[in-house]
Structure 1
Amino acid sequence: MTATDERTRPRSAGHNRVSNVFWVLLAVFGASGYLVWDHFGNVRFGVFLFVISGWLVSLCLHEYAHARTALHSGDIGVGVRGYLTLNPLKYTHPVYSFLLPVVFIIIGGIALPGGAVFIDRGRIRKRGQHSLISAAGPAINALFAVACLLPLGAGWLDSAPTEFAAALGYLGALEVIATVLNLVPIPGLDGYGIIEPWLSYQTRRAFAPFAPYGMMAIFVLLWTPSLNQWFFTDIVGGVLGWFGNAGGYAAVGQELFRFWHANLLGYGG
């Protein structure tokens, strides 16, 4: 082993080491889930912590999936930029992609991860790889949603505390929302990133200036009553309907989570 190898090996290992920030989020997620299950302390606050920490964990995994897929597609710089550590503080826009989505959930129940990791697209040659990188994030949200909702639909939690099942249902509903919204082909969202490599250069150049505003545009559109009703009741409620009474649990979970606010979305049940 050369001297250069000795110097670079620790740094390379550090680029892949899971950050303490992520471990703390994971610990809060697990601990709050236990507290809700055991009815320890303020259950509603426990539901709030469980949903928020679970959502932040999924955000980290969402961005990690983008970065890991980019790494295997040719962008070796994602490790140096800290994207493989699952540390949200390493993201390109921590406020835009980490803080704002949490605020959106609190004030409107809209779960939407923003663009957070910089991918050196010049190192990636194949269009299919570009599409796969963009699709990797929503795929994680979809898997997270199934992990939350399948136990409810299968009846595995019928004897569990209602508050825990409701919290899990609401977290699953947020993951469904994130998956669907991220697949909308609007610049700045992953759905557009999937199709962008297949568009002409002129089209990509024309849409590029709108990328920073994609998430805000979705947020504004969903405050339109008719679109809000259609999206949350028909689309999200329809998906939750695949998992038995998951929609009913999600509605209860939302009430527990947002104890200061009335239930406005109504996922059905």
Structure 2
Amino acid sequence: MTTAISRRDRRISPVFLGIVAVMAVAGWAVWTGFAASTGFAVFLFVTAAWIVSLCLHEYAHARTALHSGDITIGAKGYLTLNPLKYTHVLLSIVLPLVFVIMGGIGLPGGAVFIERGRIQGRWKHSLISAAGPLTNVLFAVVCTAPFWLGALDGVPTPFRYALAFLALLQVSAALLNSLPVPGLDGYGVLEPWLSYRMRRQIEPYAPFGLLLVFALLWVPEVNRVFFDVIYGITGGLGVGEAEAYCGRDLFQFWQADVPFCAAP
């Protein structure tokens, strides 16, 4: 069930187009070596690309909800890809960016308000929740395509490192968001299939799910296992651990360069 959406409600936001423009210009600067600081150019490119992926993640939730029966999505501005329209810009944009800058972790956001009561059918509810992480998976596949296709000839080293790090962020976001933890999309996929009583028992803990993930990732042993899994996945997509690590090293340009990463 859908309803007519006005052109204004689905017009791509100038804010989103501006972010895409920053991504394109920064990517060009990394590719050509035009920037005085390669690290700063990588930082701008990866940051802008990461925000673009977050916008697409939320758009996927909203678009799927619209086609599943929530006809209020258009009026809320979610179809414009404008990150300022989200219910919690802090959770969807700011906090994930802080995690990327601090530790190179693709922390999932999530702040589009969907009127679940308008949607009928458990499969539809699960699909709405799954749409976001699937977008991150698709983004990761696109970022790693030059690696698993063996099409890296002529790709400048800094750009290859930046793509590798961006792919790592997408894989980590997809993995974290797929965890069956209240408040994350993985639980949203599972929730419609739980009994009403169980959902009611878990509901009070939903606001703390993301905080639990946050706390666990700061435990060295958990962090090490987490990145072992991430590097295993990116390795399967053709991205070497050293390439992803060097991408993170360039991204965090304010820190001292690792010598072999600094080499052209």
Bin of the TM-score, shorter chain as denominator length:
over 0.9
Q: CA deviation at 1:97?
A: 1.4
Determine the C-alpha separation between the residues in 1 that align with 2:163 and 2:80. 26
8 Å CA contact 1:98, 1:113 repeated in 2: no
Secondary structure in structure 1 of the residue aligned to 2:108: coil
Structure 1 residues 222, 261: CA separation in 2 closer, same or farther (over 3 Å shift)? farther
Percent of aligned pairs with the same amino acid? 56
Determine the C-alpha separation between the residues in 1 that align with 2:144 and 2:104. 17
Determine the C-alpha separation between the residues in 2 that align with 1:32 and 1:141. 21
Secondary structure in structure 2 of the residue aligned to 1:158: coil
> Are 2:111 and 1:98 aligned?
no
Equivalent of 1:178, from 163, 173, 176? Answer: 173
User: What is residue 258 of structure 1 aligned with on the other side?
Assistant: 252
User: What is residue 67 of structure 2 aligned with on the other side?
Assistant: 72
> Are 2:189 and 1:207 aligned?
no
Determine the C-alpha separation between the residues in 1 that align with 2:107 and 2:163. 18
Q: CA deviation at 1:210?
A: 1.8
Determine the C-alpha separation between the residues in 1 that align with 2:136 and 2:256. 26
Q: CA deviation at 1:158?
A: 3.2
The one-character-per-residue Cα deviations of 1:127-151 (angstroms, maximum 9, x if unpaired) are 0000000000000000000100121
User: What is residue 6 of structure 2 aligned with on the other side?
Assistant: 12
8 Å CA contact 1:70, 1:133 repeated in 2: yes
Secondary structure in structure 2 of the residue aligned to 1:164: helix
Unaligned 5+ segments in structure 2 are 258-264
More displaced stretch, 32-41 vs 238-247 = 238-247
Determine the C-alpha separation between the residues in 2 that align with 1:209 and 1:262. 44
Q: CA deviation at 1:153?
A: 2.6
The size of the alignment, in residue pairs, is 253
Q: CA deviation at 1:262?
A: 6.8
Secondary structure in structure 2 of the residue aligned to 1:77: coil
TM-score (norm 2): 0.92
Unaligned 5+ segments in structure 1 are 1-8, 264-269
TM-score (norm 1): 0.91
Summarize the alignment of residues 129-144 of structure 1 with structure 2, pairs less than 5 Å apart: 129-144=124-139
